[in-house]
Amino acid sequence: MSKLGPISGFPEWLPAQRMAEQYLLQKIQRTFELFGFAPIETRAIEPLSVLLSKGDDKEIYVIKRLHEDADAPDEKWGLHFDLTVPFARYVQEFRHQLHFPFKRYQIQKVWRGERKQEGRYREFYQCDIDVVGQGHLSVSYDAEMPILLHQVLAQLPIPAVKIKLNNRKLLEGFYRGLGIENFTQVLRIIDKLAKIGADRVVGLLISELHLSDENAQKCLLLGQIKSDDLSFIAEVEQLGVQHPLMIEGLAELTQVMRACDVLPPGSIEVDLSIARGLDYYTGSVYEGVMLGHEHIGAVCSGGRYDNLIASDHKQQGFPGIGVSIGITRILGYLLGRNLLQMSRSTPVAVMIILPDEAARTEAQRVAFRLRERGISTDIYHQPQNFGKQMQSAQKRGIPYVWFMGDVPQVKNLHTGIQQPASIDTWQPEACYEKLTITLTRS
């Protein structure tokens, strides 16, 4: 026991906080299923070769047995750093048993070796959905993603999330139309626009990538385009760049924006500075930020990947699209700033007051019956003043206490109302039955 206390980047919550986390995870899971996604879980580890093939320079934790033979085979494993790469491997492995287009969700922990900061962890949950097609995948799925994100996030007790939308083909075509080759480098710099501003972006494009003043300006102008309607089309065309890939991207983006008409105003916008990770995205890309809390970065993100899942020699490939919700980032931030109020720190809905030891048998009989009826029930651990017992219940947020007797009574600790109650019919009021979470301020 040399190392006690927290390990940096590996959060551990108190019961009330974990209940809040489970609450969010359950809401998310239910919405994923509403949209027709099926659950899977992949193992925590993958061969290093799988992780490294698409992972760029991710910080990966390598797994090793303590008593591993010195001459053990070379196969090395690592903890997965996201859920998309393991999913790609999974699809390839089980492709003959899956139905395409395959819609799946996956809610699991992932691990990254990055340095801890607010909103940034080394062990955290990702809530991931993806759709994978065989040979072809309709652009209508590109539109389903932001709609789903909005419907999931809008019902959670968190600040409003704005989803930003872009398309890699549009950007790449535009840059190619200008004769720029190092596409991903330009993306990397344009992506910083919101953070470092227009002047420094242009400066970097010229100094680091040796773009001409004119090209740097055009890249900036493209990156500065934002709109919550279709006006971005004219703005892009006005820049006078021609390229087939750009036209294609523009058309896809338009189709997605049109489909998002069902969303309330202000919940989505086109933002041509959004690039996302530099690795496998090929078309639509998404990123969501909490309004008023943009500094912690994206709380959800994703995009289309047409080449992530390698094709069978003669067969067509498996284009996919997906998004991920960073529930640990959201929750860690809100809890760290005390922006969430949980109504209780235990699932218990009613606690039975224990007058003396002789009453324990009766208390257990009452508890048995209430639990049988699906009511989370606990018995106070020792005989004590009723005041003490009630105070204890109140501190843990338990909404009701139960007084045994010839005519049993139940008291609501929120309202102070005490009434006769029967173990066969009493129900907690709906608003007190389960944990409630409220967002304070913001």
User: Which residues form the interface with RNA (CB under 7 A)?
Assistant: 6-9, 56, 58, 82, 112, 114-122, 124, 126, 188, 192, 195-196, 276-279, 287, 295, 297-301, 324-326, 328-329, 355-356, 383, 385-387, 390-391, 394-395, 403, 409, 411, 413-414, 416, 418
Cα separations in angstroms, 263 against 143, 273, 322: 11, 22, 19
> CB 71 → RNA: shortest distance, Å?
30
Q: Which residue, 97 or 338, has its beta carbon nearer to RNA?
A: 338
Nearer residue to RNA within complex by CB, 240 or 387: 387
Nearer to RNA, 100 or 403 (CB): 403
Q: Which is nearer to RNA, 351 or 375 (CB)?
A: 351
Among 349, 324, 337, residue whose Cα is nearest residue 19: 349
Least distance in angstroms from the C-beta of 72 to RNA? 27
Least separation in angstroms between residue 229's CB and RNA is 25
Half-sphere exposure (Cβ direction) of 275: Cα atoms closer than 13 Å: 22
Q: How far is the CB of 362 from RNA (least distance, A)?
A: 12
User: What is the rounded CA–CA span in Å between residue 322 and residue 53?
Assistant: 19
Q: Hey, is 390 helix, strand or coil?
A: helix
Torsion over CA: 75, 81, 125, 145 (sign):
negative
Measured from the CB atom, is 102 or 333 closer to RNA? 333
The nearest distance, CB 338 to RNA, in angstroms, is 9
Nearest distance from C-beta of residue 73 to RNA, angstroms: 29
- The distance of closest approach from Cβ of residue 435 to RNA in the complex, given in angstroms and rounded to an integer, is 17
Answer whether 60's CB lies under 8 Å from 51's CB. yes
Instruction: Pick between residue 60 and residue 236 the one whose CB is nearest to RNA.
Output: 60
Nearer to RNA, 255 or 436 (CB): 436
Distance from chain centroid for Cα 248:
29
- The β-bridge relationship of strands 350-352 and 400-403 is parallel
The closest of 276, 287, 281, 286 to 308, measured between CA atoms, is 281
In terms of CB distance, is 128 or 177 closer to RNA? 128
Contact 25, 125 (CB under 8 A): yes
For RNA, give the closer residue by CB, 51 or 236.
51
DSSP code per residue over 108-172: EEEE--PPPBTTB-SEEEEEEEEEE-SS---THHHHHHHHHHHHHHHTSSS--EEEEEEEHHHHH
- Minimum CB–partner distance for residue 400 and RNA (Å): 10
Helix, strand, coil percentages in the chain from 3-state DSSP, rounded to 5: 40, 20, 40
Residue 327 Cβ vs RNA, minimum distance, rounded to whole Å: 8
Instruction: List Cα–Cα distances, 336 to 11, 329, 333, in angstroms.
Output: 11, 10, 5
* Length of the chain, in residues: 442
